[in-house]
Amino acid sequence: MRSRWSYVYFAFYLLLGIVLLFLNNDLSKAVITLMNVIIVLVPLIGTIFGVMYYYNSKEFTELLLAQPLKRSSIFLGQYLGVALSLSISLVLGLGIPFVFYGLFESSAIWDFSLLLVTGTFLTLIFTALAFNIALSNENKIKGFGYAILLWLFLAIIYDGLFLMTLIMFEDYPLDKLSLIGTMLNPIDLSRTLILLKLDISALLGYTGAVFKQFFGTSFGLIVSFVMLTVWVILPVLRIIFKSRNKDF
């Protein structure tokens, strides 16, 4: 699908990047602001685009299914089409203004690339999750509802519940539990990952502090990336499995 929405998305990031740089006049501060936007917005856009694309191209999918093509290649192709075009919009949209601003001479370049890498991971993860939801729900409205709920849960509610459990059981040693809790949510994980890299303790929540204490910066980075990769692979495997057994 030649979607004009991915251009809109690209333009949005372009604008966001430019505006942030002008208002902040400081690269690393702009990176922090961007992080807050990316952590919430990228999963939302990935979710919505994934679900929307699946339902919109349903007829086209049926056309392809009657052709001599493997089911897994049809669905993986669609998934990669959406996820990669969103990722490219993100990377180029944010990358261009920052490059013009003099990113390559700045020390923030590693923080910035980490931001783009996690943003890409989040796009891949949430588009895959959205495809899973869409594949399991014939009803468009239901599919949309579940997808948004999933986003809301992982982006906001999860943190709240997490914090509440930490407060409720504060007498116990919870370091391991909170660590696992962070690992199980890709949004939390990305946030922690970027904060660890940015090395700004003021912004580190309790989860971040635990992380830092446990891993030290570089080991934590590797484990986090492994977790993010697992978060991509599992939903993608389910797309393959689910599409193989679905009726059209």
Partner 1 sequence: MVNIENLHKKFGKNQVLSGLDLTINEGGIFAVLGPNGSGKTTLIKSILGMVIPNKGEINVLGESIKKNSNYRHKIDYLPQIANFPSNLKVKELIKMIKDLRKNTNEDLRLIELFKLEPFLDKKLGTLSGGTKQKVNIVLTFMFDSPLIILDEPTTGLDPISLIRLKDLIQAEKAKGKTILITSHIMSFVEEVSDEIVFLLEGKIYFRGSISELKTKTNQPDFEHAIASILTDNHA
Calpha distance 219→224 (Å, rounded): 9
Exactly one of 7, 53, 62, 86 binds partner 1 (CB under 8 A); that residue is: 62
Using the rule CB under 8 A, give the single segment among 29-37, 53-61, 76-84, 158-166 that binds partner 1: 53-61
For the beta carbon of residue 180, count every other beta carbon within 10 angstroms.
9
Is position 44 an interface residue for partner 1 (rule: CB under 8 A)?
no
Q: Minimum CB separation from partner 1 for residue 84, in Å?
A: 19
Q: Which of 226, 204, 26, 208 is nearest to 34 (CA)?
A: 26
For helices 217-244 and 186-198, the axis angle rounded to 10 degrees is 160
Calpha distance 43→159 (Å, rounded): 15
Exactly one of 37, 40, 44, 64 binds partner 1 (CB under 8 A); that residue is: 64
Q: Which is nearer to partner 1, 70 or 176 (CB)?
A: 70
What CA dihedral angle connects 122, 125, 130 and 131, to 10 degrees? 140
For helices 186-198 and 158-168, the axis angle rounded to 10 degrees is 80
Place of tokens 């966001």: 16
103: Cβ–Cβ under 8 A, 6 or more apart, which residues?
27, 109, 112
Name which of residues 2 to 31 contact partner 1 (CB under 8 A).
Answer: 2
Is position 70 an interface residue for partner 1 (rule: CB under 8 A)?
yes
Instruction: Tell me the CA end-to-end span of the chain in Å, nearest whole number.
Output: 20
175: Cβ–Cβ under 8 A, 6 or more apart, which residues?
210, 213, 214
Task: At 96, give phi and psi (nearest 5°).
Answer: -60, -55
Exactly one of 8, 69, 157, 237 binds partner 1 (CB under 8 A); that residue is: 69
Is position 57 an interface residue for partner 1 (rule: CB under 8 A)?
yes
- Tell me if 65 sits within 8 A of 248, measured CB to CB: yes
Q: Minimum CB separation from partner 1 for residue 151, in Å?
A: 27
Exactly one of 44, 65, 148, 150 binds partner 1 (CB under 8 A); that residue is: 65
Q: Minimum CB separation from partner 1 for residue 114, in Å?
A: 36
Provide the mask over 207-246, with x wherever binding to partner 1 is found by CB under 8 A and - wherever it is not.
--------------------------------------xx
Using the rule CB under 8 A, give the single segment among 67-75, 100-108, 150-158, 221-229 that binds partner 1: 67-75
Using the rule CB under 8 A, give the single segment among 31-39, 58-66, 161-169, 214-222 that binds partner 1: 58-66
Q: Minimum CB separation from partner 1 for residue 234, in Å?
A: 23
Using the rule CB under 8 A, give the single segment among 18-26, 37-45, 57-65, 149-157 that binds partner 1: 57-65
> Would you tell me which residues interact with partner 1 (CB under 8 A)?
1-2, 57, 59-60, 62-71, 245-248
